[in-house]
Amino acid sequence: MTRNMGWGGRLRHTAGAVTAAVALLAGCEGLQDSGSPAGGGSGAAAPDGRAVSPLDNPDGTAPGLAPVTGEKDRAAAVALIEKVTTKGRGPKTGYDRDEFGYAWMDTADGVPLARNGCDTRNDLLQRDGRELRFRSGSNCVVVAMTLADPYTGRTIEWRKQQAAEVQIDHVVPLSYSWQMGASRWPESKRRQLANDTLNLIPVEGRANSAKSDSGPAAWLPPNKGVRCAYAVRFAQVAVKYEMPVTPADRRMMLEQCGG
């Protein structure tokens, strides 16, 4: 795949790199090495030193999910969560993943990294991963990497042969969004949500599977240190897409940040 190196190059050297998906990456024999990209942002660092606080990463183009610490930042987190509106969770009737476009499309306009010649999944793997290795002849398809998973605190040495070990989490699950109003959105808006870097984080596959389509009241990352950051990211997505959350979810989000 030929890639537009304008943004892609900047991505690997500023925001970092990586997103792993349940879907198997295309098969490849040869590997192409790439050095780890430098991290960016001023948020509190996660164990790998590159993750950025969601408060300093409002478009989701910087890597990871660093803890929200300090009285000032926690107050800002609470203020953001308080902007989120609430309503009851509607029925799942009619939900289908295809209602949000095909998986990891590069043509979902209105979100970072769209139409850069590399699909959303591999853009995210490049954003969050370290020690990236690419399919021979490609600067897009990631076939090996090291991931500092914010949800569990684990460092995962990922290879395409164990593709499901790392999955890409929709922070606000697509099924959840459908039940909270996305069923009435135009398809273009649903495609944006499904491919928006703000709503996507490569994480341990088992943690993602355990979460399923839960909101924060039913599931939070096992790593307690990032629970406020997770709540902030959930709120950022909800505010951006003018999407309510359930009252129980909003209460839990506030509780994680001391609100």
In Å, how far are 57, 146, 153, 200, 215 from 189, measured between CA atoms? 21, 32, 32, 16, 20
Element (H, E) at 69: none
User: Could you tell me the pTM of the whole model?
Assistant: 0.82
Residue with tokens 């925001």: 15
Amino acid at 191: R
In Å, how far are 35, 48, 73, 162, 250 from 146, measured between CA atoms? 11, 10, 29, 13, 33
- pLDDT tens string, the chain, 259 residues long: the values are 434 444 444 444 344 433 333 333 333 333 344 433 323 333 333 456 799 999 999 999 999 999 999 999 999 999 999 999 999 999 999 999 999 999 999 999 999 999 999 999 999 999 999 999 999 999 999 999 999 999 999 999 999 888 999 999 999 999 999 999 999 999 999 999 999 999 999 999 999 999 999 999 999 999 999 999 999 999 999 999 999 999 999 999 999 999 8
Radius of gyration of the chain (CA): 17
Q: How is the chain split among helix, strand and coil, in percent rounded to 5?
A: 40, 15, 50
CA angle 251, 83, 86 (to 5 degrees): 55
Q: How far apart are CA 226 and CA 72, in angstroms?
A: 16
For position 42, what pLDDT does the model report? 33
For position 94, what pLDDT does the model report? 97
Tokens of 105: 């499309």
Look at phi and psi of residue 16 and say left if phi exceeds 0, alpha if psi is from -120 to 50, else beta: left
Q: How far apart are CA 195 and CA 120, in angstroms?
A: 6
Amino acid at 100: F
Structural contact between residues 168 and 21, judged by C-beta atoms closer than 8 angstroms = yes
For position 161, what pLDDT does the model report? 87
Q: What's the first-to-final CA gap in the chain, in angstroms? A: 47
Show the DSSP H helices in the chain as ranges.
Answer: 5-10, 71-81, 120-128, 174-179, 187-195, 205-211, 227-240, 247-256
Amino acid at 49: G
CA angle 161, 165, 166 (to 5 degrees): 105
